[in-house]
Amino acid sequence: MTRPPAAARPNLDAIRAIAAAARAAGRTTLLEPEGLAVLEAAGIAVPRWRFVRDARALDDAALKGLPGERVVVKVVSSQIVHKTEVGGVAFVARDRAAVAAAMTAMGARLGEAVEGYTVAELVEHDAALGGELLLSLRWTDDFGPVVSVGAGGIHTEALAADLRPGCEIAIVSPTLTPRTVIGPVLEAATAVRLATTSLRGQPARLPPAELVAVVERLLDVGAALVPAEILECEINPAAVTAGGLVALDVLISIGSGTARARPERPVHKIARLLEPRSVAIVGVSSKSNPGRVILDNLVGGGFARDRIVVVKPGVDEIDGVGCVPDLASMPGKVDLFVVSVSAAQVAGFVAEVIERDLAESMIVIPGGLEEKSGGEKLTARMRDALTAARETADRGPVINGGNCVGIRSRPGNYDTMFIPSRKLPVGGWPAPVALVMGSGAFALTRITRLDRLDLRYVITVGNQMDLTVGDYLTYLAADSTTRVIGVYVEGFGHLDGLRFMDAAARITADGRTVVLYRAGRTSAGARASASHTAAIAGDAVVTRELARSAGVVLADTPEAFDELLRTFALLDGRIPHGRRLGAMSNAGSECVTFADHAGSLDLPAFGPATEAELVRIVEPAGIDSLVDIHNPLDLTPAADGAIFEAVARTILGAAEVDVGIVGIAPFTDSVETLAPGPDHSEDLTRPDAIGARLARLWGETTKPWLAVVDAGPLYDPFRGLLEDAGIPTLGSADAATRALAAFCDAKIGRTARSG
């Protein structure tokens, strides 16, 4: 077989020439001989092979250089993608007659589709799991080139479907993945571990460094030639042999020879968008409409009236805010222009604002710009105006939207959402949290579900006609006061996923947090393709794996998204020095759940000193006679507020505990968890009630811990009291353990990456 030296680097010029010749022939895929030549030029081992036009051209010389007693005959055809399925592959004796017979049979079966045959050595290897890998280099529109490694051969798709997410495939990027971490990223895939680690005392089939070297060569090719020359290169299978990794089959799609550039926006102007000194609005009615609601929210929120101007003919002022009849009458350039006119008017209005240089930034509320009949010319004018402005020294305005709900910015002291203020919660704990949302409805739901947190920014990006999710992450990467960023996306625009991940990696390296919920993650939404790679590593899987590598915290459900945001926001600044969990509850079922769902957390036994102190605390209530003292600790319904506080203080102070969970079943008569009422004497706000005790404990401790209150709306005031004190309070024991494990994974993993 052809075996390049370990230090071989890809011959990029040779690969370019092969792709150019195929393009000149009018093909979009390479024939197998061309694909094998590309791999050889890339420094990747392939079997010894020969190309033969047909059985009549076969001679002994074609077989002479091939080792072994058997060979592989494959049809060469630009019309056949998967050869095995149509009988285009045969394993026969290395004998001229046997090879000729195989070619003749294929020719009779496949007819004019046949353009020739390859005859290659049969590479001996174990085809069981771990003996064959899939390696793929392909272009993704949102992340650019990526390399995937997973199980190869006939097992590829079945294993990917059955393995736990995160174990089915490893994905790396030439731009996003540091070369120093390629090995650990690859080892996350089950097939890679089976191929490169020792099992039951047997030596590893493949040294990990050899696989890393092959992946690095693919990354080098991707960085230089994808997508202009190559769109996808799938090696399946790559055989794990005694001599190293050998590519047995390859499918390569080629590019057009050029690559679309990623447009750049003046991201620094987001500062004027989020903290404007002056605002203009168009689309304000004398009665209630979205524009009027936005104006009411601005004024009601305290934005100075003399720094707002409304574009509205025939009116001098609205609610104390001055009006001008048209754009020609604007008093000057504003930091932010909010456009809330009908969809049919948007494109022309935005174009005129740009042409007159009247705004540093814009929020476009309506959607439907591209869909309106007859609006093509106006839309083209708007885009042409923005393109022309981008080429000036000023770079023109940045635009949020269209089809967005608006933006709420606490630092900017404004709310441009067209939702009446009475419909959304106001106030709460000032949280250093930004939401960057690809859905307005999802954003509004989050505001109401996180009602105890006063979020720093809520940004709904709409259809991202200009500013993208990646742009906002890039801007927020430089904003150290925003500690937690929650992002909802249904997909990324052209190379915006790359921009997003680059910014996210910088944010997490700074000790801050990005929580991502990506919708559209089912296999039904995966891109259709002839390749196995796209079937098992669609856009959502690539997002997941690159996000994990960037230190992004992933949420599987909207509910988990809320839990993670609440946990990371309120635990910000508390450092977990390990994964040892100390847990307690007055409900035995919660203690069992803590243990069942601990995940990556450990539940150590309490040390002798801790155990002795816990016995001393619970003995007067007889709790030690009902349950054993162990971790998690079941306090039983007999525990009152004083016992809760003393036990929690002891557990959190224990040297063997790094993080904690305090579960409070609020139903017993021994704890005051109700607001005052006519039919009882409880008052959850009393200084000696459990809520006040835990609030004091929160202020006196530095370890990360959270509370669980698993109860209905009757106990919302109690939950609110805890959260107003800054204690992350979740609604179930399993949610609490998952969230705390994710916190430890992110913070401890981040420390390891930084180190």
pLDDT of residue 755: 36
Structure tokens at 139: 């272009």
pLDDT of residue 528: 37
Tell me if domain 132-254 and domain 267-570 are identical in fold: no
Q: pLDDT-based confidence at 126, cuts 50/70/90?
A: confident
pLDDT of residue 627: 82
Burial of residue 2, with CB atoms counted within 10 A of its CB: 0-12 exposed, 13-18 middle, 19 or more buried: middle
* Residue of 726 and 527 predicted with greater confidence: 726
pLDDT of residue 163: 57
Please list the residues that pair with 72 across neighbouring strands.
Answer: 91, 120
pLDDT of residue 127: 82
Between the CA of residue 605 and those of 609, 630, 632, 651, what are the distances in Å?
11, 6, 9, 11
Q: What is the mean pLDDT of residues 482-503?
A: 96
Residues 564, 566, 569, 572: what is their CA dihedral angle, to the nearest 10 degrees? Answer: -70
Q: Which CATH class for the 12-121 domain? A: alpha beta
Residues 726/698, Cβ–Cβ less than 8 Å: yes
pLDDT tens figures, 95-122: 999 999 999 999 999 999 999 999 999 9
Q: What is the mean pLDDT of residues 491-518?
A: 96
Q: What are phi and psi of 399, to 5 degrees?
A: -125, 130
Give the DSSP letter of residue 76. Answer: E
d(CA 690, CA 673): 7
pLDDT of residue 533: 47
Amino acid identity of residue 425, one-letter, is P
Between the CA of residue 341 and those of 273, 312, 331, 364, 427, what are the distances in Å?
19, 11, 20, 9, 30
Count H helices, E strands: the chain? 24, 29
Taking residue 522's Cβ as centre, other Cβ atoms within 10 Å add up to: 9
Please list the residues that pair with 654 across neighbouring strands.
Answer: none
Domain 267-570 belongs in CATH node 3.40.50.261:
yes
d(CA 23, CA 35): 14
pLDDT at 6 over 60: no
pLDDT of residue 392: 95
Please list the residues that pair with 414 across neighbouring strands.
Answer: 409
pLDDT of residue 375: 58
Report the candidate in 321, 318, 365, 322 with the shortest Cα–Cα distance to residue 346. 365
pLDDT tens figures, 32-82: 999 999 999 999 999 999 999 999 999 888 898 899 999 999 999 999 888
pLDDT tens figures, 301-325: 999 999 999 999 999 999 999 999 9
Report the candidate in 402, 408, 470 with the shortest Cα–Cα distance to residue 435. 408
Give the DSSP letter of residue 490. Answer: S
pTM of the model: 0.92
Please list the residues that pair with 235 across neighbouring strands.
Answer: 135, 250
In the three-class reduction of DSSP (H, G, I as helix; E, B as strand; rest coil), residue 576 is classed as coil
pLDDT at 608 over 70: yes
Structure tokens at 161: 């479907």
pLDDT of residue 18: 98
pLDDT of residue 612: 96
pLDDT of residue 387: 94
d(CA 616, CA 119): 81
Q: Where are the domains of the chain?
A: 12-121, 132-254, 267-570, 574-754
pLDDT of residue 508: 96
pLDDT tens figures, 145-203: 999 999 987 665 555 555 566 678 999 999 999 999 999 999 999 899 999 987 766 78
d(CA 424, CA 535): 42
Amino acid identity of residue 165, one-letter, is P
Least confident of 327-331, 519-523, 591-595: 519-523
All residues at 6 or more sequence positions from 8 whose CB lies less than 8 Å from its CB, including other chains: 43, 217
d(CA 103, CA 445): 64
What percent of the chain has pLDDT above 90? 81
**DSSP E strand boundaries for 681-753:** 705-708, 729-730
pLDDT tens figures, 450-463: 999 999 999 999 99
The average confidence (pLDDT) of the chain is: 91
Report the candidate in 317, 401, 394, 407 with the shortest Cα–Cα distance to residue 357. 394
Domain 132-254 belongs in CATH node 3.30.470.20:
yes
In the three-class reduction of DSSP (H, G, I as helix; E, B as strand; rest coil), residue 61 is classed as helix
Superfamily for domain range 574-754:
Succinyl-CoA synthetase domains (3.40.50.261)
d(CA 407, CA 461): 8
Q: What is the mean pLDDT of residues 469-495?
A: 96
pLDDT of residue 132: 93
In the three-class reduction of DSSP (H, G, I as helix; E, B as strand; rest coil), residue 223 is classed as helix
pLDDT tens figures, 510-549: 999 999 999 875 544 344 344 544 544 567 889 999 999 9
pLDDT tens figures, 206-231: 999 999 999 999 999 999 999 999 99
pLDDT of residue 158: 55
Q: pLDDT-based confidence at 9, cuts 50/70/90?
A: confident
Please list the residues that pair with 135 across neighbouring strands.
Answer: 149, 235
Helical residues (DSSP H) of 275-327, grouped into ranges:
290-300
Q: pLDDT-based confidence at 370, cuts 50/70/90?
A: low
